Amino acid sequence: MIQKNLVLLISSIFLFTGCSTLGLLGPKKIETISKPVQIDIMQPDLPRPVELTAPKWYVVSEARIANPCKKVVQEDGTEKRPKVCDISEKENPDWPEGYTYLDRFLDEMKKQNNGEVVFVASTVGDYKVMAEDMQELKRYLKQLGEVVVYYRNVTMPNGDKGAGVAIKKND
Amino acid sequence: MQQFFIAIILVLGLSTWWLYGQNQTFKANQIKLEAAVEEQKQAMEIMKEQYEKQGKALMNMSRENAQIEEEKAKYLAIFSRHNLDALAIKKPGLMELRFNKASEAVMEGLEDDTEKLSTLNQ
């Protein structure tokens, strides 16, 4: 009787523990795949380039404008400019003697404004300030452009310039 | 006696089943932890890669910015090297030419810079 019970006991133990050793009810293998996925950040349209027109500057002083004589053909066929000549043989015969840059400027202003003298003047110092300010603006624009390029490069998904990534986890 | 053995079998069976359950939980936990570690490793790799890319881009930007500052200083140095007032009095024609050429160059430079920037998406 005791032997029968012992056999029953041992076989029962094997029966119960066997479930774990056989692996029939073992855990399902969890497949975890981790891979980087690209986040597509929409790149905005960049503003169109600027279209600028350079202003015309007049530098005016009371210095005389050179009004050289017209070139004269020499006997050997070469052209030479005589040092002294009549006013009618000068390059600009309509300019009076001692015609200065200021005179020419005023004449041009009169021509542009129907005989009136109208212009906006600036000093050399102010021109310098404006040129410096323009350079400062240019520097700011260019450096801001570099920041745009930087952000674009670190968020672009393709190639060497791409870095927009995240983790996708599949369980 | 028989009842005693049956009780032992039941106790052993239940405790074995409980241990088996615990074991399964530990196994599952271990698998999950291993997966998490692997995931973290990959995330670290990507972060490292990203950091390197950002570092490179930042370095490029700094270099470009330094060049821009240098360019500006170069332009402004012209003003400190020359006495514009004296030159404008003596040679207004020459100065007028220089002023107008420089203005045109600045405007064209600005147009080129913004053109370059606007075509980045193409």
User: Mean pLDDT over all residues of chain A?
Assistant: 80
Question: Tens of pLDDT along B57-112?
Answer: 899 999 999 999 998 999 889 888 989 889 989 899 999 999 999 999 999 999 99
Angle, helices B92-118/A124-155, rounded to nearest 10 degrees: 20
A165-170 and A79-80 beta bridge pairing: unpaired
Q: In chain B, which residues have their Cβ closer than 8 Å to the Cβ of A43?
A: 121
Class of residue A163 by CB neighbours under 10 A (exposed 0-12, middle 13-18, buried 19+): buried
A165-170 and A72-73 beta bridge pairing: unpaired
Site from A13, A135, A141 to mutate, B interface, most B CB atoms within 10 angstroms: A135
Question: Tens of pLDDT along A20-65?
Answer: 555 555 555 555 565 666 677 788 888 899 999 999 999 999 999 9
Asked if A90 contacts A65 with a C-beta cutoff of 8 angstroms, the reply is: no
B79/A30 Cβ within 8 A: no
What φ, ψ does residue A89 adopt, rounded to 5°? -100, 15
Share of chain B above pLDDT 90, in %: 36
Q: What is the ipTM of this complex?
A: 0.70
Look at the block and give the residue holding tokens 């004269």: A72
pLDDT of A119 above 90: yes
Q: Is A117 helix (H, G, I), strand (E, B) or coil?
A: coil
Q: How far is CA B56 from CA A86, A155, A166, in A?
A: 71, 13, 20
Selected residues 44-83 of chain B with any CB under 8 Å from a CB in chain A:
46, 49-50, 53-54, 57-58, 60-61, 64-65, 68-69, 71-72, 75-76, 79
Task: Identify which of B80, B105, B90, B77 has the alpha carbon closest to the alpha carbon of residue A59.
Answer: B90
HSE-up of residue B9 (Cα within 13 Å, Cβ side): 18
Task: Identify which of B121, B71, B63 has the alpha carbon closest to the alpha carbon of residue A49.
Answer: B121
pLDDT of A165 above 50: no
- What per-residue confidence (pLDDT) applies to A121? 93
Of A42-51, A125-134, B39-48, where does the model show the most confidence? A125-134
Q: How far is CA A75 from CA A72, A78, A80, A81, in A?
A: 10, 7, 10, 13
**pTM for the model:** 0.67
Parse chain A into domains and list their residue ranges: 1-42+121-171
The CA distance from A56 to A72, in Å, is: 34
A34/B43 Cβ within 8 A: yes
